[in-house]
Structure 1
């Protein structure tokens, strides 16, 4: 098993190296020392990273020196990495093998890990919670078993690689449940709670100390959060942490931050649990406003022991990558001012 793991990792590294047209040998980046990573999490979801590297995309520090992306983010004050995993994606990216490669890199840097289960072959979000192709015709009981088996398989592989995630997300932005139609919460909250618990129990069986997150979109919408977590609670749903997303614009970030902070306080008091801000982002060109947005959010949550941290979603995306404009790197592949918020005291 160990030989297989190392061969897999070596093969992936060689594949990435083959995509680099520059024959000149580049210096190895200096890896920051492993530090005490307890306390407030400051991190990024970089799930696109290996795909970007395979496409020949490079990353640079503010001085213009090429550097490995996770190492760069750590040098800017981040201590955590979030990674999504799909069941059987057509392209292969974000499958188990790809996840393991990225998780090992983060783990070797001493960074904390959040694993984000989408329970889909593609994106799972508020408008799309599509069952994996291989699960389409399953009965509800077998669907529950598939959730448990998939969760167990991924986490067992991480454990075999001696990688221990600190947080596990069962579903992504599940404001109306997951694995539709069976798990659509507005139609059958009890079935969604059951599916959620299958992921929760499987995670705890592999990593008993892990904190399991139920993650919803629009962290400023208190009514939706009360509806969802009242529904889960009333149907025996399990969670340790409530996860939130927030994607404001330049002209409304102050009001959305205020609403999110109120929602954070309400969730902590109402359900006696912790909260994580799992996704944030703003257009890369608005770096000054994004810096203010992030600084305000971090400063208002970092001293609250029940608010565990904040993750920027795919900050390393730049240029025309996937037509995504809410990264935090400029067109030259350098981090914008926005990310300075993660290193500020």
Structure 2
């Protein structure tokens, strides 16, 4: 069968696929937990931008470089609404309408869960361990199904919040029974994957500077069959007892590096905050973002930046006197946090874009291969302006290139010494559910696995863009 016939058949088959709702792009997530906004707005709170003009808070955050929103879920909150799943759905729909990525944070409590308190929901008080495992599964499952039915696909789901000593005490207290805690985590993890197989499950701890606590929890989970995709961390640098904020940030960076090397896990900063009136607030937050990037973190989320002394919280990034953002929020604009390094996994084959044989030569073939952690599958997205990116591979420092600047279907995609020409520039086109196409600026054609192949070694070429899964990629 000729190449053109194979491609035509692949494109025809692609028309049967149902595309899901949009998720967002490729960069390291920069976001905020804004779970209080519904309550704040219900009490008449309004938000003002840098110019003093009243504006929707999500737009203000976007204008400060943020692209992601985190929302907490409580089981049966006091008053029955704020942080209930129905409240969360409304805020998630609002975030989706703003084009933002979404993280859902399950506390498995009726109120706050953190290192000092992991109290069971009142309705679960008398449950056995088996009952708690079932309750975690069903609460997670039912909540995520409700989100899915409302058109929401979260990119991340936290299974517990700041679980430095487990959750759902006493049964899930890690220091008393690590296996129980691991089983509870797995109940949540399995429910996440039942509803959203591609959504990443996060296990989240406070005190990013405390590597010993992180190792103890994740060694314990690992030894007891615990499952997670991402390790999340909170860091409030000025609250790290015994350390300067700079020392706390450096310890956090070292911890993030250790978590990746020790467990092979993605890492992210799930919460950061600094006193709104601290003279070095912007420097503190900028340093957290820079160190997270250095460590390869996939996201940084400010905790409730819009809160101006709301309910006694003083670590937001809004000035209660002017009702405008502080300079700390500008930290999410500055720097190079729109650059990320990652693997690119095919939706069709689950294999990754790879430089054949780890060659360092100009013109080396680009193929798909089983995903691994070597540098010949690590691609850095470099902003080229007008929404185009260049893709630089880690092992050779060369770039993804259409050979000879060709414009025909079937032209080979290779690596080549990086330059600024259009045959090394790619437009990321959202295809839903976290997937995207890469369209060449030079030819208008898309990166494609030849003939829809699913095997190691199948060639990567360019082809007229279509909706087939062999042209859809996910950061992995």
Query: Which of the five TM-score ranges fits, normalised by the shorter chain?
Result: 0.7 to 0.9
The structure whose RCO (Cα within 8 Å, separation 6+) is larger is 1
> Partner of 2:38 in structure 1?
50
Q: CA deviation at 1:322?
A: 0.3
1:169 is paired with a residue whose SS is strand
Residue 247 of structure 2 is aligned to residue 255 of structure 1: yes
2:325 is paired with a residue whose SS is coil
Count of paired positions: 309
Q: How does 1:152-191 map to 2 (within 5 A)?
A: 152-191=141-180
> Partner of 2:414 in structure 1?
none
1:269 is paired with a residue whose SS is helix
Match of 2:289 among 291, 298, 304: 298
Question: Following the alignment from structure 1 to structure 2, what is the Cα–Cα distance between the partners of residues 341 and 158?
Answer: 31
Q: CA deviation at 1:300?
A: 2.7
Question: Following the alignment from structure 1 to structure 2, what is the Cα–Cα distance between the partners of residues 162 and 253?
Answer: 40
Match of 1:280 among 246, 249, 272: 272
2:86 is paired with a residue whose SS is helix
Match of 2:111 among 103, 122, 125: 122
Q: How does 1:219-234 map to 2 (within 5 A)?
A: 219-234=208-223
Question: Following the alignment from structure 2 to structure 1, what is the Cα–Cα distance between the partners of residues 197 and 110?
Answer: 27
Question: Following the alignment from structure 1 to structure 2, what is the Cα–Cα distance between the partners of residues 93 and 248?
Answer: 28
Q: CA deviation at 1:135?
A: 0.5
2:298 is paired with a residue whose SS is strand
Gaps of 5+ in 1: 1-33
Taking structure 1 as the reference length, the TM-score comes to 0.87
Residue 99 of structure 2 is aligned to residue 107 of structure 1: no
Question: Following the alignment from structure 1 to structure 2, what is the Cα–Cα distance between the partners of residues 243 and 139?
Answer: 28
Q: How does 1:29-40 map to 2 (within 5 A)?
A: 37-40=25-28
1:196 is paired with a residue whose SS is helix
Question: Following the alignment from structure 2 to structure 1, what is the Cα–Cα distance between the partners of residues 288 and 313?
Answer: 23
> Partner of 2:84 in structure 1?
95
Question: Following the alignment from structure 2 to structure 1, what is the Cα–Cα distance between the partners of residues 193 and 204?
Answer: 17
Residue 123 of structure 2 is aligned to residue 131 of structure 1: no
* Structure with max Cα Rg: 2
Q: CA deviation at 1:282?
A: 1.0
Residue 317 of structure 2 is aligned to residue 318 of structure 1: no
Question: Following the alignment from structure 2 to structure 1, what is the Cα–Cα distance between the partners of residues 130 and 237?
Answer: 39
Q: CA deviation at 1:39?
A: 2.2
Moved more, 325-334 or 230-239: 325-334
Deviations 1:22-57 (A, max 9, x none): xxxxxxxxxxxx995222000000000000000001
Decide which structure has greater helix share.
1
**Contact 1:37–1:111 (Cα < 8 Å) also in 2:** no
> Partner of 1:268 in structure 2?
260
2:284 is paired with a residue whose SS is helix
Taking structure 2 as the reference length, the TM-score comes to 0.64
Gaps of 5+ in 2: 1-21, 336-476
Decide which structure has greater strand share.
2
> Partner of 1:70 in structure 2?
58
**Contact 2:50–2:325 (Cα < 8 Å) also in 1:** yes
Question: Following the alignment from structure 1 to structure 2, what is the Cα–Cα distance between the partners of residues 37 and 312?
Answer: 19
Question: Following the alignment from structure 1 to structure 2, what is the Cα–Cα distance between the partners of residues 194 and 146?
Answer: 12
Question: Following the alignment from structure 1 to structure 2, what is the Cα–Cα distance between the partners of residues 328 and 190?
Answer: 39
Q: CA deviation at 1:307?
A: 1.1
1:249 is paired with a residue whose SS is helix
> Partner of 2:194 in structure 1?
205
2:90 is paired with a residue whose SS is helix
Question: Following the alignment from structure 1 to structure 2, what is the Cα–Cα distance between the partners of residues 36 and 120?
Answer: 29
Q: How does 1:77-92 map to 2 (within 5 A)?
A: 77-91=65-79, 92=81
Question: Following the alignment from structure 1 to structure 2, what is the Cα–Cα distance between the partners of residues 262 and 237?
Answer: 23
**Contact 1:169–1:212 (Cα < 8 Å) also in 2:** yes
